[in-house]
């Protein structure tokens, strides 16, 4: 059970065919959850586990998984990109603390990109952006970042930018550390090589670096003081300032890459940990005491009374499975919970962490966790489950 400060609850959101599921498959591979990369075009993507998804090559239902990266436990929901399944995105965003928006480097900000971005705006969710498919003819990283400002009113701040060798996209420049980051093809991008930028590469990155430093100075007083004094801002201070700006919704870090070609994914994974919020940084959950109607709050800590939101209900293998976001407290198998909406008491028979269509049995679910449960017979989507002694 990780402390909630070391947890990230994120969603992957995008227009259809932006490469969202391919990006997610790389996250799982590089985190060591899978031992081969599933591909949408081969019908073996881990996150598209339903027969209809494999057949059509698109995500139909939001799928949950988890992995560890940089010492953080990351709960991830891969959402559908097709306009017909927008309600699945809405249900997922309600329980997430952050998101990664995938944009096609050729298509840019497309209509469904705007829809899901506005959904995230309504929920106040901090986001990163990953500009994908930069290996393709017609891809234009700068145009996509400009699109974010023009179509989404979002201040996108590049943290990595594409580097080209012999006319082909081959590496990224890390603008925080000013390093060239390469991903050798023979290792499927799993090995990450860092080296100082060449003089020419540094010159081409100078304008991006200046934009990044200005954004950090806007977000943080300590960064502003150093910037105005003409001093160089060290990487830890830059990251702290950019995190502050991201959590405030003032900026949206942007990463460059090609998930299919295994380029640029790990820096974005680092960005999830560095810049997106933990449940401990989320505001307390608010609700009403069902006995009195008096408004109450729950702090996002395991020591508080239990509270969780049901955000999805499925019939799987002839059994009823409910998906929960735990906002406070903890629950164990065998515990009795109160449904605040109906007044019914329910017993938790089994708890699981999800990996798409597979389940990993766990003994306890605590504040910040996204889990599945069985044995809860009557709860519906949108219901709150809580401690019977402190509803």
Mean pLDDT of 252-276: 98
With a cut of 80, say whether residue 110 has pLDDT above it.
Answer: yes
Each residue's pLDDT tens digit, 199-214: 999 999 999 999 999 9
Domain that holds residue 326: 285-386
Is residue 196 packed enough to be buried (19+ CB in 10 Å), middle (13-18) or exposed (0-12)? Answer: exposed
**Quick one: 174 and 307 in the same domain?**
no
Number of H helices, E strands in the chain: 9, 23
Percent of the chain with pLDDT over 90: 69
Q: How many domains does the chain have?
A: 2
Last residue of a domain, one of 225, 251, 281: 281
**Quick one: 225 and 338 in the same domain?**
no
Residue 258 within any structural domain of the chain: yes
Mean pLDDT of 16-26: 90
pLDDT at position 47 is: 54
**Quick one: 65 and 125 in the same domain?**
yes
Each residue's pLDDT tens digit, 132-156: 999 999 999 999 999 999 999 999 9
The answer to whether the CB of 72 falls within 8 A of the CB of 273 is yes
CATH of the domain at 322: 2.40.30.10
Who wins on pLDDT, 281 or 239? 239
pLDDT at position 2 is: 63
With a cut of 90, say whether residue 169 has pLDDT above it.
Answer: yes
* Spatial distance between the Cα atoms of 159 and 256, rounded to a whole number of angstroms: 8
pLDDT at position 318 is: 78
Last residue of a domain, one of 281, 314, 338: 281
Residue 305 within any structural domain of the chain: yes
**Quick one: 184 and 259 in the same domain?**
yes
- Residue 282 pLDDT grade (very low, low, confident, very high; cuts 50, 70, 90): confident
Q: Where are the beta strands (DSSP E) in 149-276?
A: 156-158, 160-165, 168-174, 179-182, 193-196, 252-256
- By C-alpha distance, which of 80, 73, 60 is closest to 9? 73
Q: Bin 17: left if φ > 0, else alpha if -120 < ψ < 50, else beta.
A: left
* Spatial distance between the Cα atoms of 255 and 102, rounded to a whole number of angstroms: 10
CATH of the domain at 236: 3.40.50.300
Quote the mean pLDDT of the chain. 89
Residue 391 within any structural domain of the chain: no
Is the pTM higher than 0.85? yes
Locate tokens 């735990």: which residue? 326
**Quick one: 77 and 145 in the same domain?**
yes
Mean pLDDT of 265-274: 98
**Quick one: 254 and 356 in the same domain?**
no
* Spatial distance between the Cα atoms of 243 and 264, rounded to a whole number of angstroms: 20
* Spatial distance between the Cα atoms of 8 and 273, rounded to a whole number of angstroms: 7
**Quick one: 86 and 196 in the same domain?**
yes
Last residue of a domain, one of 281, 296, 319: 281
Per the document, the length of the chain is 391
**Quick one: 242 and 205 in the same domain?**
yes
pLDDT at position 51 is: 43
**Quick one: 264 and 319 in the same domain?**
no
**Quick one: 272 and 178 in the same domain?**
yes
Mean pLDDT of 213-219: 97
pLDDT at position 287 is: 82
**Quick one: 327 and 345 in the same domain?**
yes
């Amino acid at each position: 059970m990780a402390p909630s400060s070391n947890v990230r609850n994120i969603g992957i959101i995008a227009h259809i065919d932006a490469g969202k599921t391919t990006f997610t498959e790389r996250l799982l591979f590089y985190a060591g959850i899978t031992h081969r990369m599933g591909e949408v075009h081969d019908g073996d993507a881990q996150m598209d586990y339903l027969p209809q998804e494999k057949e059509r090559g698109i995500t139909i239902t939001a799928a949950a998984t988890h992995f560890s990266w940089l010492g953080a436990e990351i709960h991830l929901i891969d959402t559908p990109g097709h306009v017909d399944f927008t309600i699945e995105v809405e249900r997922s965003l309600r329980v997430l603390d952050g998101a990664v928006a995938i944009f096609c480097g050729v298509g840019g900000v497309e209509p469904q990109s705007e829809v899901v971005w506005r959904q995230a705006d309504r929920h106040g969710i901090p986001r990163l952006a990953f500009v994908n498919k930069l290996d393709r003819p017609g891809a234009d990283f700068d145009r996509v970042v400009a699109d974010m400002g023009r179509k989404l009113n979002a201040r996108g701040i590049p943290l990595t930018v594409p580097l080209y060798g012999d006319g082909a996209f081959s590496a990224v420049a890390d603008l925080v550390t000013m390093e060239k980051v390469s991903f050798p093809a023979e290792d499927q991008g799993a090995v990450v090589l860092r080296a100082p930028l060449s003089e020419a590469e540094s010159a081409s990155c100078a304008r991006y670096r200046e934009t990044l430093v200005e954004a950090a100075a806007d977000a943080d007083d300590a960064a502003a003081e150093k910037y105005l004094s003409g001093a160089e801002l060290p990487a830890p201070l830059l990251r702290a300032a950019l995190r502050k700006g991201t959590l405030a919704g003032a900026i949206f870090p942007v990463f460059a890459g090609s998930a299919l070609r295994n380029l640029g994914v790990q820096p974005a994974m680092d960005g999830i940990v560095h810049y997106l919020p933990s449940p401990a940084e989320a505001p307390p959950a608010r609700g009403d005491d069902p006995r009195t109607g008096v408004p109450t709050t729950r702090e996002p800590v395991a020591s508080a009374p239990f509270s969780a939101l049901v955000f999805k209900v499925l019939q799987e293998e002839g059994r009823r499975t409910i998906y929960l976001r735990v906002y406070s407290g903890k629950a164990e198998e065998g515990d009795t919970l109160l449904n605040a909406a109906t007044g019914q008491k329910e017993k938790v028979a089994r708890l699981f962490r999800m990996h798409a269509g597979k389940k990993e049995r766990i003994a306890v679910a605590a504040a910040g966790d996204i889990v599945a449960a069985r044995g809860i017979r009557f709860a519906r989507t949108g219901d709150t489950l809580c401690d019977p002694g402190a509803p």
